[in-house]
Structures are given as structure tokens and as C-alpha cells.
Amino acid sequence: MAVDVVIIGMGYVGLPLAREAALRGLSVVGLDANPDVVAGLNAGRSHVDDLHDSDIAEMHEHGFRATSDADVIADADATVICVPTPLAEGGLPDLGPVNAAAASIAAYLHPGMLVVLESTTYPGTTDDVLRPMLEAGGLVAGEDFHLAFSPERIDPGNATYGVRNTPKVVGGHTPKCGARAVEFYERFIDTVVQTKGTREAETAKLLENTYRHINIALVNEMSRFCHDLGIDLWDVINAADSKPFGFQAFYPGPGVGGHCIPIDPNYLSYNVRARLGYPFRFVELAQEINATAPHYVVQRAQDLLNDRGMPMRGATVLLLGVTYKADIADQRESPAHPVAKHLYDHGAHVQFHDPNVETWRFQGHDLNRVADLDAALADADLTILLQNHREYDLASISRGARLLFDTRGVTEDGANVERL
């Protein structure tokens, strides 16, 4: 039976894409190598933040199913690769999952099929890595089948912009490939933007995240010298943000997290060094600044305790919010991990609370979150607000904490409150 699209990888990118396509009337099959993920989806259970079990049930009503059997690709008009590309040693993306997906597609590739890569990677991957694997069986991209790249733009926890109303960038191996990919995505996405080719689409994704990475590094560095100069950076940013043109507000914090911001710019930096022989200095400097943000937070925490006659060693430090972003459960690359490590290295007793996380795996074991937040605030020598989840009552936290270090600039000034 013909299938409109097989989406490979049922994670934070692939599953929301599958839902939107299914709800718009496409026949969709989710292909995932993890049998537990497949079993959960077929039983109506969601494993990503932005989708609930009711969303999966609605997908089933529209014919969605999940499988680990790659032979479903044989019946697909289109396949979309949404597998992870973690950072490997040396700054190169680990293309192992992409290569595995490509091998599965190559085994069932047929004339007229559209193949789209959505996994974030360095420029040239679609044409130089994916295309040769697909063409090994004799079919030629641009002639016998269509090949394109379309960067994912999923923003977990964003209630305003999702798959359907976020413009979709698409670049084809040839103009004909690009047109075929645009036609596919226009079936369930409001706006599709076509680039000249796959490399432009690949680089657009990296530019988006590099822009954010560099501007976050700028305010993270400003937060350090503003503190030393006695300047309230949060007030500075609010004042600058009153300008209706030429400025976009970015805010300092304990570090950057998730898959995109701390990782994607490195793909571009690696590619520039490997292919051109010189550094992408903005990215490398931003990486250096943002990577040291957790250490700076702990330095400030240590100073706060010292000012009150307490050493860090033996102090009880409560961390609030250990996810990389507010109002989600995702802990990938969360700055809470290096913050906790530095605190442990200084001899502190670390506790945590997060309304979205029941257990937090740290240094090889699970830490149970504190059960009574009010009691934990009263008992902790220092509380550090790392993530401003909407479930937190900031006024109550400020009143209840013996000493509060706010790394998000969201609390009011007070004798027991210090902001980054």
C-alpha cells in the first residue's frame, strides 16, 4: 500500500513533523530504530515535551503508525531523515545515524522518490555524503529520484510557532529536486522558502544558530564586566530594547544548552577550518565565552557565600531548573550539568528541584529532586535559579530563600537576592 511519507527518526523533530503531515491528510509512517519508542507510539504514548498522548491518539485516527521495519520505505513516495547528529570528537557531527538512515533508504530507493535530509549538519553533507550512498544502486539524483535538504526549526516549548506556521526552508540538489520538495512540504506547511541549493539550505540553519550563539556570548561577557563596574546589565538591556529598530534583546545566563546553540555552530566552524584552512573566529570565541559561563556562575556563587562568612565547601546549594530551556523536560547539553560539577568540585552539597524532572542523572547516579520546595529553600545556604519555569512562584522563592542567586534576571532586587 502506497505511503505518502516515511519519516525516519521519531524524536523531537520527526514526531511533530509526522503529526502535522498526518493531520493534513498525508499517509504517514514513523520509522525508528528504538523498539521502545515504536511500541510506545503504537500504544498511544508520547515521549516528547510538545506532544501529549492525546496528540498521538489523534495521529492514529488519521492513519499514523510507527515501525522499526525499513521495508516500509519500498512503498513511500517520500522519505524524510530526522535522526540526531550529535557532536563527535574534534567538532565534526556524528553522521552515523544519517548514514544508517541512508543505507535503509538506498535498499528501497525507487524512481520518483523524494529523499529529504532534515538533520542538522555541515554544508555539503546532502550532496557529498548522502547522495553517493543513494546513487550507489544506479539511480541518479535529479534524474531518477529527488534529493533535498530542509533544516528543522523545532523550538520545544514554543506555544506560538510550531511545524505548520514556521516557514520551511528547502534546498534541492537540482532546481527540479527543490521544486518537488517544495510541493511536498506545501501540503502541510503554510510557508515554504526555496534556496538555490542544498548547501544554502544547510548553511541557513547554521547561520540562524550561530547568530544566536554569538549574541548570547556578547551579553554573557558583558554581564561579567558590568558586574565588576557596578552596572545593572538587565536594566541596560531593557533600555536598549526600547529602540524600535536596529536592536534585538539577548540575555545572559548560566550557559547555553539543547542540541542547537552549543553544537550547531561548531559544524560550521569545523567545515571552515577543514575545507578552507582558517578559523571562524566569531564562533570559536563565542564557544569559549559560553562554555565558561557555568564556571563564572559558580565563581559568583562562591563570592556570595564568602561575603556572608560561609565557605562553599560543606554548603548546601539548591539548583532550581535543570533543563536547558524553560517549561520543558529536555536536559540535553543543559548548563545545569557543568554548574553542578563545579559546585561538587568545590565541596558543596548539591540538591535540585525542577517541576518537569523527577530524577536527574548526574555523575553516574540519579539524584531525586527535593520533595518540599519551601522547606528546601529555607534549609539551603544558597539557591541558584538556573531555569525560570512558569510553575515557579518567583515572589515566593525570593521570600523563602535564605540567599538567592538569580541567573535569569527575573526576580526583584532584595537583601537576599543577587542577579547575574
Residue 285 has pLDDT above 80, yes or no: yes
CA atoms of 201 and 207, how far apart (whole Å): 10
Question: What percentage of the chain exceeds 70 in pLDDT?
Answer: 98
Residue 264 has pLDDT above 80, yes or no: no
Average pLDDT over every residue of 300-317: 96
Which among 34, 35, 27 has a CA at the least distance from the CA of 7? 27
Average pLDDT over every residue of 366-386: 92
pTM of the predicted model over 0.95: no
Tell me the sheet residues that pair with 5: 28, 78
Residue 315's pLDDT band, with cuts at 50, 70 and 90, is very high
Of 268 and 285, more confident? 285
Residue 162 has pLDDT above 70, yes or no: yes
Average pLDDT over every residue of 141-150: 98
Query: Can you read off the three cell numbers belonging to residue 130?
Result: 548522502
| The pLDDT value given to residue 146 | 98
Residue 122's pLDDT band, with cuts at 50, 70 and 90, is confident
Q: Which helix (H) or strand (E) holds 148?
A: strand 146-149
Judge contact between 270 and 121, C-beta under 8 A. Answer: no
Residue 266 has pLDDT above 80, yes or no: no
| The pLDDT value given to residue 338 | 93
Average pLDDT over every residue of 266-290: 83
Residue 284 has pLDDT above 90, yes or no: no
Q: What share of the chain is helix, strand, coil (3-state, %, to 5)?
A: 40, 15, 40
What's the chain's average pLDDT? 93
Average pLDDT over every residue of 215-235: 95
Residue 123 has pLDDT above 80, yes or no: yes
Q: Domains in the chain, please, with CATH?
A: 3-196 (3.40.50.720), 218-419 (3.40.50.720)
| The pLDDT value given to residue 3 | 95
Residue 267's pLDDT band, with cuts at 50, 70 and 90, is confident
Cα dihedral 372/374/379/384 (nearest 10): 100
Active site residue 260: yes
Q: Distance of alpha carbon 346 from its chain centroid, rounded? A: 30
Judge contact between 15 and 86, C-beta under 8 A. Answer: no
CA atoms within 13 A on the CB side of 111: 3
Cα dihedral 27/149/197/181 (nearest 10): 0
| The pLDDT value given to residue 367 | 76
Q: What is the pLDDT of residues 65-114, one digit of tens each?
A: 999 999 999 999 999 999 998 877 666 778 999 999 999 999 999 999 99
Of 390 and 362, more confident? 390
Q: What is the pLDDT of residues 27-47, one digit of tens each?
A: 999 999 999 999 999 999 999
Residue 189 has pLDDT above 90, yes or no: yes
